A and B are shown apart, each in its own frame.
Chain A
Amino acid sequence: MARMKFLCDSERCIECNGCVTACKNANETEWGIQRRRVVTLDDGEIGKEVSISVACMHCSDAPCMAVCPTDCFYPTEDGLILHNKDACIGCGYCLYACPFGAPQFPKQGAFGARGKMDKCTFCAGGPESDPVIEQQKYGANRLREGKLPLCAEMCSTKALLAGDAAQVADIFRERVVYRGHRNSAWSSVEHEAAESEQLAQNAADLAYDATQSV
C-alpha cells in the first residue's frame, strides 16, 4: 500500500514561498492560517544559510492523534493523518504536541478564542461526502482526482517532493548520490569532504526512513 510523504530538499529550496502561495491557492485558507511555511536558518550567513518548507508531515506515529481528547484525527489508507472538524473542540493540545507547528487555529469570537483546528491535508480533503462542503471545510481534494498536493507540484526547483514514500525516497537518494562531488551543480552549501560524506549518509538514512511504515 502506498504511504504518502512530503520531503523538502533543503539544498534546493530557494525560499521563494511558491509552496505557501500554491497552498493558499488550492485550499483558499483564510488570512493567518499557514498550512505551509518556509523556515530559513542562518539567514545571510554565507555558506550556512538554509531554507526548508514545513507543513504537516503526516507522521507514521502522529503525536497529535495521541493527545486529541475527542479523537478527531484518523489515518487514511494512504498513510495520511486527516482530522474531523466537527469533532474538534479547539483545545490546542495538538498544537503543543506537534513538532512541526502544523496545526493552525483561526481566532474566533471574544478574547481570541481558538476556532476549529486547520492543517495540511496533503490536498486530500476530509471526512465529508459532499465535495462542495468538503472544499469549504478542508480545502482541495486533489488526491481523489489523481493529483499530488499543489505545493509540491508548483515547486520551482523541485525541492519539495510529495508522493509515495518509496518513490520520493528513490528520487532523493539519486540526488544525494550525484551530489557526492564537492561543488556539484546541486549543492548551494559547501561542506568539507568528511562532513559531506556524513551528510550524504544522513540524507540516505532519511530517505530510507521515509519508506518505512510502523
Chain B
Amino acid sequence: MLKQLGWWDDLTEAEKVAAEGKDWKTDLSGGIQRVAIKHGCAPFGNGKARTIVWTFPDAIPKHREPLYTTRRDLVEKYPTWDDFESLYRMPTLYKSIQERDTSAEFPIILTSGRLVEYEGGGDETRSNPWLAELQQHMFVEINPFNANTLRIADGDDVWVYGPEGGRVRVKALVTNRVDRDVAFMPFHFGGEFQGEDLRSRYPQGSDPYVLGEAVNTVTTYGYDPVTIMQETKCTVCRIEKAA
C-alpha cells in the first residue's frame, strides 16, 4: 500500500526491512504507522471517528495520564481532569489523586486481565475440577529483569503492595510476557484476603476447589467520567519477596 502511494521511501532503511511484506497491524517497527500519520492518514484507513461529543468531558477523546502513574513527566503534559463536585450526583476525584507522587514507592505498573480458560470472577471456573486444575494458584507475572533485581525466582511467594494500602500474597510467574515496567495479575481469583485463607467462611459445600487473592485488593481508585466504569486496568504496585 505504501509503495502504491509512493511513500515507501519515507521509511528508514531499518524500517523498510521490518515493514517488507507487512501491513500496519503486523509491522512491529511502527514505521508504516508513522509514515501514514505523517501524511495525515489514520494507519488503519480513514474510517476514523470524526464525531464530536459535546456532552462528554473530552469532546474528542485524548490521552490523559492515569491517576496512578510511574511517569510523572507525562502528568504535566497530559494532566487528568479536575475533581468533579458532582458526577452523576457523586463527588469524584481526579486531580487530587494524581497530585500524590507514588512513583518512588511504587515503581511498577500493574494491570489485570483474563485467562483464556476462565470466566468472569472465576467462581464457576474454580468450582469445576477440570478447569480449576489448569491454574491452581493466583499469580503475578513479573519480567525476568525485575525479578532478578528483586531476587525473586519463578514460583516464589511474593507480596504485591498497592498504593492505597492493599496487599496480596501470590505466586511469582517470571516471564517475558510482560514488559520491564509492567506486572500482570489475572482477575479470576477470590477467597483469600491479604494472606488470610477465607475458605472456612464459605457455606458448606460451596467453596471452589481453588482459592486465591483477588487482584482488586491492590487496584486503586478511579472512574471513567462518562460511563463511571471503575479503573481496574491501570495502577502501580511494589513487589517484595514474601518471607
Pick from A15, A25, A46, A183: contact of B28, CB under 8 Å: A46
Q: Closest residue of chain B to A21, judged by CB?
A: B130
Instruction: Please determine whether A25 and B117 come into contact, CB atoms closer than 8 angstroms.
Output: no
User: B127 contacts the other chain (Cβ, under 8 Å)?
Assistant: no
Within 8 A of A (CB), among B150-184: 175-178
| Per-position binary interface string of chain A over residues 1-30, scored 1 when its CB falls under 8 Å from any chain B CB and 0 otherwise | 000000000000011110011001100000
Cβ contacts under 8 Å, A32 to chain B: 133
* A11 to B117 Cα, complex, angstroms: 20
Pick from A16, A31, A43: contact of B133, CB under 8 Å: A31
Cβ contacts under 8 Å, B1 to chain A: none
* A15 to B116 Cα, complex, angstroms: 9
Pick from A14, A43, A182: contact of B175, CB under 8 Å: A43
Instruction: Please determine whether A44 and B178 come into contact, CB atoms closer than 8 angstroms.
Output: yes
User: A45 contacts the other chain (Cβ, under 8 Å)?
Assistant: yes
| Per-position binary interface string of chain B over residues 89-131, scored 1 when its CB falls under 8 Å from any chain A CB and 0 otherwise | 0000000000000000000000000001100000000000111
Interface of B is mostly: loop
Chain A nearest CB, measured from B134 CB (Å):
5
Chain B nearest CB, measured from A50 CB (Å):
14
Cβ contacts under 8 Å, A17 to chain B: 116-117, 134
Cβ contacts under 8 Å, A24 to chain B: 129-130, 133
Q: Once A and B bind, how many residue pairs between them come within 8 Å at the CB atom?
A: 33
Q: Closest residue of chain A to B129, judged by CB?
A: A31
Cβ contacts under 8 Å, A45 to chain B: 176
* A17 to B26 Cα, complex, angstroms: 26
Instruction: Please determine whether B176 and A44 come into contact, CB atoms closer than 8 angstroms.
Output: yes
* A21 to B128 Cα, complex, angstroms: 10
* A16 to B115 Cα, complex, angstroms: 9
Chain B nearest CB, measured from A93 CB (Å):
26
| Per-position binary interface string of chain B over residues 174-198, scored 1 when its CB falls under 8 Å from any chain A CB and 0 otherwise | 0111100000000000000000000
Cβ contacts under 8 Å, A16 to chain B: 116-117
User: B22 contacts the other chain (Cβ, under 8 Å)?
Assistant: yes
Instruction: Please determine whether A182 and B129 come into contact, CB atoms closer than 8 angstroms.
Output: no
* A42 to B104 Cα, complex, angstroms: 32
User: B47 contacts the other chain (Cβ, under 8 Å)?
Assistant: no
Instruction: Please determine whether B28 and A43 come into contact, CB atoms closer than 8 angstroms.
Output: no
* A16 to B118 Cα, complex, angstroms: 10
Cβ contacts under 8 Å, B205 to chain A: none
Instruction: Please determine whether A183 and B21 come into contact, CB atoms closer than 8 angstroms.
Output: yes
* A148 to B28 Cα, complex, angstroms: 40
Instruction: Please determine whether A183 and B26 come into contact, CB atoms closer than 8 angstroms.
Output: yes
Please list 11 pairs of residues, one from A and one from B, whose beta carbons are closer than 8 Å in the complex, sorted by A's number.
A17-B117, A24-B129, A43-B175, A43-B176, A43-B177, A44-B175, A44-B176, A182-B21, A183-B21, A183-B22, A183-B26
Residues of chain A at the chain B interface (Cβ within 8 Å): 14-17, 20-21, 24-25, 31-32, 43-46, 182-183
6 nearest A-B pairs in the assembled complex, by CB-CB distance:
A44-B176, A44-B177, A24-B130, A44-B175, A183-B21, A21-B130
Beyond known contacts A25-B130, A32-B133, A183-B26: 20 more, CB 8 A cutoff: A14-B116, A15-B116, A16-B116, A17-B116, A17-B134, A20-B134, A21-B130, A21-B134, A24-B129, A24-B130, A24-B133, A31-B133, A43-B175, A43-B176, A44-B175, A44-B176, A44-B177, A44-B178, A183-B21, A183-B22
